Amino acid sequence: MKLLIKQRVFSWSDTYDVYDENGNPKYFVKNEIFALLHRIHVSDMQGNEIGIIKQNFTLFIPHFEVEIGGKPYGEIEKQFTFFKPKYDLNYNGWRCEGDFMAWNYDVYSGCSAVVHISKKLFCWGDTYVIDILNPGGRICIITFHSLEDRMVKQRFNDWRRGCVCPPDFPVCVCGRTPAAELVLKKPAEATADELADNPRSRSARLRCVRKLHDRYG
């Protein structure tokens, strides 16, 4: 799934329209004009507010809180770096890393990228494309070290995990459902013929999951 974020050039405040991959308007993003700190509102095309991103007052490191439907869903904090911009997302253990020009960003869950954000050049106003894995899409990762494989396995298991309520609860109250399912029950390894052609593939492990839905919370 792709979303196109396009800035409204002739606007008093930072205002963006968000379109789906078919060019249909989906969301409207607007930053408050006279607010001392950033307060970014996200609404649907009917004007119903979906979420808000609020900047907290900090001396050096920018820090933001994210609310969806009036409930806190996570935080965004910029890391102190010299070259490539990096952000910690207090949401599902994600992190965000940009390139040297701060035009392209990848959002990582563990060691796998789940969202890619790229800036379109030569456009009238700032324009960005967000590329997100669709439900039903597959994430396949090859690792060459046991520690890497362990990290991927733990992340996939977290996505496959459903209810996180205490075991003594009679019914589920968290509402969490698995966000992914295994495609390969066991990691795929190199066959004897593949090892004969490439002995260095002996340590390679391939794991794969299928996305079921977007998880918010």
pLDDT in tens, 105-116: 888 876 667 788
Cβ contact 147:139 at 8 Å: no
Cβ contact 106:87 at 8 Å: no
- The mean pLDDT of 54-80, rounded to a whole number, is 84
Rounded distance between C-alpha atoms, residue 110 and residue 207, angstroms? 14
- The mean pLDDT of 76-103, rounded to a whole number, is 80
CATH fold of 138-211, please? Rossmann fold (3.40.50)
Mean per-residue pLDDT over the chain, rounded: 85
| Whole-number pLDDT of residue 215 | 60
The ranges assigned to domains in the chain are 2-132, 138-211
Alpha-carbon separation of residue 207 from 149, 152, 154, 189, 212 (angstroms): 8, 8, 11, 10, 16
Task: Indicate whether 217 pLDDT > 50.
Answer: no
- The mean pLDDT of 149-163, rounded to a whole number, is 87
* Residue position matching structure tokens 């969301």: 27
Task: Indicate whether 119 pLDDT > 50.
Answer: yes
Q: For domain 2-132, give the CATH number.
A: 2.40.160
- The mean pLDDT of 48-56, rounded to a whole number, is 90
- The mean pLDDT of 190-199, rounded to a whole number, is 93
- The mean pLDDT of 156-166, rounded to a whole number, is 86
- The mean pLDDT of 71-92, rounded to a whole number, is 82
Q: Calculate what percentage of the chain has a pLDDT beyond 70.
A: 95
* Residue position matching structure tokens 């954000």: 117
| pTM for the model | 0.61
Task: Indicate whether 164 pLDDT > 70.
Answer: yes
Among 16-30, 37-51, 105-119, 159-173, the range scoring the smallest mean pLDDT is: 105-119
